[in-house]
């Protein structure tokens, strides 16, 4: 077979299915939708020291030291290994990788060609960590070319291949497997993705088989007792349960069937019709409706946004499931002829897409030129530009020497120290007297010119006088310029003499108000004694202290009276 194969694989809890196709997706006969070669085995591996691993249901002869392992899919990602009968321990993800490898080898042996693209499905309820663990196990087993995709995404690809483009929207994929039911919301369109997934282990094919077996036993024994712990009875019960599973699957296509029962007495047959089976399964199947609602709610969409509900898994073939879902939600409920193979066929369609998207990466051969390549002679640059060979060489200016990191640090540290000394140094304030009888004033004094009033007594001459600056708002109406020693209005902002009142003979800040006259001493009265001169305040310099450059302090001037 010369064409490349597209292989889709699903390893479930009860069955492992592989679909190999060489045709395009649109090919009905050879495509993955309904054609191709299908390989199915129970999900049970037989491991032997003398032979390669194989499925337990294969035709290979069994050796005495062979061990059979099953039920490993739910254990993927579990750090505790599965213990075999011979005491050997096996990781669940390694067993899944072994099952995938067995399917690839079987398909290759049957077709005579290695698959060009392999896509394997994993359950939708696996976490990201579990998927990474399984991918690492495939790499360790030499199956790095296998692509892992969620089962609902593969099922949606099958639906698109079977019914045409789905468009932008959402669908619900209800997977009724052997160990549980999973409802997944899948976004369709250009970017297909699984939006939400919910799983319930209370609904599944194993539970349906158990309910069917109990109903058959109740009709076959008629109330008679039997020992369930008898080894012979245990084997017969296992056979009866398998017969009930086949009867359940048969009632999906037929309306009635017969189940053989053989326990302690002679073999008996119990007739089972579809209505009886639906009455047994109606209660558990109604729980699937709640599972769908919860999954849609978790996906953040409304039920009106769902276009259809796709049934997959072995339980999807039960007619009652489609009836209940369609009646409850009013949506189309499509299903494949073999719902248990839907995910594997969708994976095969994805593998065919991978083969179709591959491009030829081999570069095209470069055509040789008919004419030889022309070689150019080497031209002297000096001769071409007219420069003499002995032209004088101009001296180059020396580049300024850059300071090293240590030198730059020293310069910066010195600058910081100088700035710190200037910032923390003490400034000396000098007071200059303006007269013998006038109060001391600093360089910040303001010169106030007279405005025509009587000059204050004791002032030397007329005209301008240097007085302390006063707040203009402090002058009161009807103020006067009393003689020294007489009470009067003291300007605000002045420094009164110690022991005297605020209205001591200090000059006013401005001229008297119009209409007011200065108060003159009465004749015959002694002249008032002049006010004592205020004490002079001298600054006391503070000793300079060298502080660390990082210290930030404000200069302080201390004053004291002498």
- Per-residue pLDDT, averaged over 39-58, amounts to 90
Domains, in order of start, for the chain: 6-205+280-357 (3.30.420.40), 209-275 (3.90.640.10)
Name which of 556, 551, 477, 543 is nearest 515 in CA terms. 477
**Do 202 and 284 meet the contact criterion of CB atoms below 8 Å apart?**
yes
Tens-digit pLDDT profile for residues 412-454 = 777 666 666 665 554 444 444 444 444 444 444 343 344 444 3
**pLDDT for 8 beyond 70:** yes
Structure confidence at residue 93 as a pLDDT band (50, 70, 90): very high
**pLDDT for 283 beyond 70:** yes
- Per-residue pLDDT, averaged over 370-385, amounts to 49
Per-residue pLDDT at 442: 41
DSSP state string for 355-379 = HHH----SPPPPPPPSSPPPPPPP-
Dig out the tokens for 102 from the structure.
């067995």
Name which of 107, 87, 140 is nearest 4 in CA terms. 107
How far apart are alpha carbons 223 and 292 in whole angstroms? Answer: 39
Per-residue pLDDT at 170: 97
Per-residue pLDDT at 486: 43
Per-residue pLDDT at 22: 82
Per-residue pLDDT at 123: 96
Per-residue pLDDT at 318: 95
Per-residue pLDDT at 190: 86
Per-residue pLDDT at 60: 58
- Looking at per-residue pLDDT, the higher value among 430 and 109 belongs to 109
Per-residue pLDDT at 150: 97
- Per-residue pLDDT, averaged over 37-55, amounts to 92
pLDDT, the chain, mean:
76
Tens-digit pLDDT profile for residues 483-525 = 444 444 444 444 444 444 444 444 444 444 444 444 555 555 5
Dig out the tokens for 175 from the structure.
């997977």
**Do 115 and 39 meet the contact criterion of CB atoms below 8 Å apart?**
no
- Stretch among 73-82, 218-227, 299-308, 443-452 having the lowest mean pLDDT: 443-452
Per-residue burial over 247-256, b = 16 or more CB atoms within 10 Å of its CB, e = otherwise: bbbbbbeeee
User: What is the value of pTM for the model shown?
Assistant: 0.63
Per-residue pLDDT at 347: 96
Tens-digit pLDDT profile for residues 528-560 = 666 666 566 565 655 555 555 555 545 444 444
Tens-digit pLDDT profile for residues 231-261 = 888 999 999 999 999 999 999 999 999 999 9
Residue with structure tokens 């849609």? 296
**Do 183 and 215 meet the contact criterion of CB atoms below 8 Å apart?**
no
Percent of the chain with pLDDT over 70: 60
**pLDDT for 266 beyond 60:** yes
In the chain, the N- to C-terminal Cα span, in Å, equals: 121
- Per-residue pLDDT, averaged over 121-149, amounts to 96
Dig out the tokens for 228 from the structure.
């369930």
- Per-residue pLDDT, averaged over 288-307, amounts to 96
How far apart are alpha carbons 234 and 228 in whole angstroms? Answer: 6
- Stretch among 51-60, 101-110, 354-363, 381-390 having the lowest mean pLDDT: 381-390
Dig out the tokens for 122 from the structure.
């994993």
How far apart are alpha carbons 222 and 225 in whole angstroms? Answer: 9
Per-residue pLDDT at 528: 62
Structure confidence at residue 32 as a pLDDT band (50, 70, 90): confident
Exposure of 55 in the CB half-sphere (CA atoms within 13 A): 21
- Per-residue pLDDT, averaged over 131-148, amounts to 97
DSSP state string for 467-519 = E----GGG--TT---PPTTS--PPPTT--PPTTS-SSSSPPPSSPPPTT--PP
- Per-residue pLDDT, averaged over 40-56, amounts to 91
- Stretch among 2-6, 157-161, 174-178, 478-482 having the lowest mean pLDDT: 478-482
How far apart are alpha carbons 459 and 465 in whole angstroms? Answer: 8
How far apart are alpha carbons 256 and 32 in whole angstroms? Answer: 32
**H-type alpha helices, 199-308:** 205-221, 231-251, 274-298
For the chain, give the longest Cα–Cα distance. Answer: 162
List, in order, residues 6 or more apart from 123 with CB less than 8 Å away.
73, 150, 151, 182
- Per-residue pLDDT, averaged over 334-362, amounts to 86
- Stretch among 384-393, 458-467, 511-520, 530-539 having the lowest mean pLDDT: 458-467
- Looking at per-residue pLDDT, the higher value among 541 and 269 belongs to 269
Per-residue pLDDT at 484: 41
């Amino acid at each position: 077979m010369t064409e490349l194969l597209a292989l889709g694989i699903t390893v479930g809890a009860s069955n492992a299915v592989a679909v190999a196709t060489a045709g395009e997706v649109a090919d009905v006969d050879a495509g993955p939708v309904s054609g191709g070669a299908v390989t199915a085995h129970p999900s049970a591996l037989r491991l032997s020291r003398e032979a390669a691993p194989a499925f337990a249901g294969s035709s290979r002869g069994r050796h005495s030291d062979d061990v059979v392992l099953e039920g490993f899919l739910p254990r993927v990602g579990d750090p505790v290994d599965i213990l075999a009968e011979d005491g050997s321990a096996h990781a669940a993800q390694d067993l899944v990788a072994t099952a995938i490898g067995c399917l690839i080898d079987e398909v290759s042996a049957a077709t005579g060609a290695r698959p060009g693209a392999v896509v394997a499905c994993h359950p939708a309820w696996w976490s990201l960590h579990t998927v990474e663990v399984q991918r690492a196990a495939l790499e360790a087993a030499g199956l790095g070319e296998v692509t892992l995709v969620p089962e609902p995404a593969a099922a949606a690809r099958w639906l698109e291949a079977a019914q045409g483009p789905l468009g932008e929207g959402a669908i619900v994929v209800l997977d009724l497997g052997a160990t549980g039911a999973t409802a997944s919301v899948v976004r369709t369109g250009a970017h297909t993705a699984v939006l939400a997934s919910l799983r319930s282990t209370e609904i599944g094919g194993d539970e349906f088989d158990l309910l069917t077996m109990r109903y058959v036993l109740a009709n076959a024994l008629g109330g008679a007792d039997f020992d369930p712990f008898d080894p012979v009875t245990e084997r017969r019960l296992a056979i009866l349960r398998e017969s009930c599973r086949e009867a359940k699957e048969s009632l999906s296509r037929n309306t009635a069937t017969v189940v053989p029962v053989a326990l302690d007495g002679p073999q008996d047959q119990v007739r089972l019709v579809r209505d009886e089976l639906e009455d047994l399964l109606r209660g558990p199947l109604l729980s699937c409706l709640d599972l769908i609602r919860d999954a849609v709610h978790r996906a953040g969409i409304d039920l009106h946004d769902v276009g259809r509900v796709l049934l997959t898994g072995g339980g999807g073939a039960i007619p009652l499931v489609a009836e209940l879902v369609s009646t409850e939600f009013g949506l189309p409920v499509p299903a494949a002829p073999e719902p248990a193979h839907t995910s594997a066929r969708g994976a095969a369609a994805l593998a065919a897409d991978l083969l179709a998207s591959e491009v030829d990466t081999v570069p095209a051969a470069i055509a040789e030129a008919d004419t030889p390549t022309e070689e150019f002679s080497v031209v002297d640059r000096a001769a071409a530009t007219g420069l003499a060979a002995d032209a004088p060489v101009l001296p180059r200016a020396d580049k300024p020497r850059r300071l090293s990191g240590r030198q730059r640090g020293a310069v910066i540290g010195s600058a910081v120290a100088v700035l710190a000394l200037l910032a923390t140094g003490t400034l000396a304030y000098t007071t200059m007297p303006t007269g013998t009888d006038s109060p001391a004033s600093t360089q910040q004094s303001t010169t106030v010119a007279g405005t025509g009033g009587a000059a204050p007594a004791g002032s030397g001459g007329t005209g301008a006088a240097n007085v302390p600056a006063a707040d203009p708002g402090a002058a009161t109406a009807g103020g006067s310029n009393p003689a020294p020693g007489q009470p009067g209005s003291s300007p605000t902002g002045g420094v009164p003499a110690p022991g005297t009142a605020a209205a001591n003979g200090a000059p006013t800040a401005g001229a008297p108000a119009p209409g007011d006259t200065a108060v003159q001493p009465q004749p015959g009265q002694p002249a008032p004694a002049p006010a004592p001169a205020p004490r002079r305040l001298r600054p006391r310099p503070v000793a300079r202290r060298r502080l660390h450059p990082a210290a930030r302090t404000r200069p302080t001037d201390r004053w004291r009276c002498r």
